A = this chain, B = another copy of it.
């Protein structure tokens, strides 16, 4: 092998490693959401988004870190986590395109039932995570979440994430 061909291979490897790092970084961003939100770690939740990032849920829209922090600190959310709950995420389907990416997947909100001692699945939600790479770090610009209760909007969101 000549030194030139090694140089070429190294350049190609560098691009492939970057692509792998992007997918893993986005996957790790998504896996931080559950532990952060279930523990009431409001700042850790908010910093997954850009400063003006949007969290658009069928139950309400949050814009920017302050509104996301406020949601985690709200009485409603504190009641969920005080009584026992888990936001359980499946692995996302991740499509990276340069410095932006889209990840698609579902989450369950599961609530402890003090009466039965078991747990009830309160919500199953389809999510589209739109991400951007800023200073080498992936952040959410918009997460759109729609309840899978039969509404067409939730199905369309999922379809968009796997369209060829």
Contacts and interface: CB of A to CB of B under 8 A. Distances in A.
Copies per complex? 3
Interface residues of A, number: 72
Interface stretch (A27-35, A51-59, A62-70, A134-142): A27-35
B148 A86 contact: yes
A38 interface: yes
Interface string A93-136: 11000000000111010101010001111111010000000000
B163 A41 contact: yes
A71 interface: no
A93 B35 contact: yes
Contact of A90 (B17, B89, B157): B89
